[in-house]
Amino acid sequence: MSGLIQVLVACFVVLLMIGVPISIALVLAAAAAMAFAAAGGLDLTQIPLQLYESTSSFPLLAVPFFVLAGSIMSRGGMSDRLIDLARSFVGRIPGGVAMVSVVACMFFAAVSGSTAATTAAIGIVLIPAMIESGFSRGAATGLQATAGSIGIIIPPSIPFVLLGVIGSISIGKLFLGGVLPGIAIGAALMAVSFAIARVQKHPPSSSRTSLANILRAAGRSILPLLTVVFVIGGIMLGMVTPTEAAIVAVVWSLIVSVLIYRELTAKDFYESLVDTVKVTGIVVLCIGATAPFAWLLTVEQVPQNIADSMTAMTANPALLTLMMLAILLAIGTFIDLTPAMILLVPILMPIAKGIGMDPVHFGVMLILALGIGQSTPPVGISLFVACSVGKAKMSQVALPLLPFLAAMIVVLIAVAFWPPLTTWLPNLLMCL
């Protein structure tokens, strides 16, 4: 390891240990390393240059618009109608309320693209309902945290937009590639919920399943669900870019919430704008802060050296895939999704290409693996939001969370070793 990289890593670790926010630590570590290398002719102007270039991409404009659309839907009555639709499907199945939470998260993820928005919008209603139905507070909160993570897999997904920019991968194909894995995660979480309810002998849900109830709820939910048609359909048909699709989602959610449902007040809209600024600021700061750090790693050929070391250990594609999964799960536990993605894509993508992995397959696998970290301490945003909404302590959630995490890891392994799960739908629809 060169002296430059030693300074970079040492500064970064020390700053994290003393509690400096990760985005600030990344910039300061990169600045310290560049100052160390300035005597060798390294251009210090690369710091502001990398900060600017990493945040000036047009597709990144999709992020604030998707966040705003999700916040408007949450406050404008659209999420309530999606919950009613989910409730109409499960009826009197044991663990039905928990299944409502999972299905509602899948519906809301398909119109918001945000983990935090999905977890908060659905959890505030259904965590108390799950507790009332027999689930412990820890289990209800843990399920909501993992179900909320579906928001980054089912399109439209903000991390897929960022990954498309960073890795030069088709955002439309990434969106479609996340559909089947997202459904698989939902099914796995519902199966675990059903098993827990049966073992603990929870009483069945009081709601009834009937075709009339389903049709009634579907009719009330048709306007929120049209958001999915506009976003995914528009991108798939080449009518709009992801950024333009996000703007369409905002306009449509405003029309529905203000003019049709009449549930979005001026105060609600202001709070949605504030939420959007906060979330977007965090995302853009992470991207900009990570860019100089990642640039230094690239200049020092760290990604290539790591890739060479891994391929020198084994040429077996299955073992290399397992090694990538181990790295992603470990890093995702301690580093938030956005900076982890920016740091790991340059390192792992050459390995994925070397074993013949499709870029869309790699991208979905990477987001899913890092997304599992969204539900685990110490940096899991979905877990923190769920604990806040569910009024639960982290210690209450840690043990009940494990079965749901295990279910997600099973799906992750299936995604990693069965490429058609991620590539079949994009290849089918994007080639029409």
Q: Are residues 8 and 134 in the same domain?
A: no
User: Are 181 and 34 in a shared domain?
Assistant: no
Amino acid at 317: P
Close Cβ partners of 26 (under 8 Å, ≥ 6 residues apart): 12, 289, 290, 292, 293, 339
Instruction: Calculate mean pLDDT across residues 180-193.
Output: 92
Select the highest-mean-pLDDT range: 24-28, 78-82, 189-193.
189-193
pLDDT at residue 44, rounded to an integer: 67
For the chain, what percentages of helix, strand and coil (3-state, to nearest 5) are there?
80, 0, 20
CB atoms within 10 A of CB 126: 27
Best CA proximity match to 323, nearest among 354, 286, 290, 287: 354
In terms of domains, do 29 and 67 share one? no
Say whether both 145 and 2 belong to one domain.
no
CA 276 to chain centre: 16
- Domain for residue 362, yes or no? yes
d(CA 221, CA 225): 6
The per-residue pLDDT for 360 is: 94
- Structure confidence at residue 412 (pLDDT): 95
Is residue 51 included in any domain, yes or no? no
What range defines the domain where residue 40 resides?
Answer: 1-44
User: Are 333 and 361 part of one and the same domain?
Assistant: yes
Q: Is the pLDDT of residue 7 over 60?
A: yes
pLDDT in tens, 399-410: 889 999 999 999
Quickly state the pLDDT bin for 47 (edges 50, 70, 90). confident
Which tens digit of pLDDT belongs to each residue from 238-269?
788 878 888 888 999 999 999 999 989 999 99
Residue 50 lies in a domain: no
How many structural domains compose the chain? 2
User: Does 117 fall in a domain?
Assistant: yes
pLDDT band at 284 (very low <50, low <70, confident <90, very high): confident
Say yes or no: 115 and 34 in one domain.
no
- The larger pLDDT score, comparing residue 291 to residue 65, is at 65
pLDDT of residue 417: 94
Q: What is the pLDDT of residues 221-238, one digit of tens each?
A: 888 888 878 877 887 777
Domain assignment of residue 49, yes or no: no
User: Could you tell me which residue, 253 or 38, shows the higher pLDDT?
Assistant: 253
- On average, the pLDDT of the chain sits at 81
Please report the pLDDT score of residue 74 as a whole number.
77
* pTM attached to this predicted model: 0.77
Are 334 and 238 in a shared domain? yes
Query: If pLDDT is split at 50, 70 and 90, which confidence band does 295 have?
Result: confident
Residue 411 has pLDDT above 80, yes or no: yes
Q: Is the pLDDT of residue 368 over 60?
A: yes
346: in domain: yes
Q: Does residue 205 register a pLDDT over 80?
A: no
40 and 136 share a domain? no
Q: Looking at the structure, tell me whether residues 19 and 119 fall in a common domain.
A: no
Q: Is the residue at 52 inside a domain?
A: no
Q: Domain check: are 147 and 18 in the same one?
A: no
| 282 & 363 share domain | yes
d(CA 139, CA 236): 38
Residue 147 counted as domain residue: yes
Q: Tell me what the mean pLDDT of segment 293-305 comes to.
A: 73
Q: Does 186 share its domain with 261? A: yes
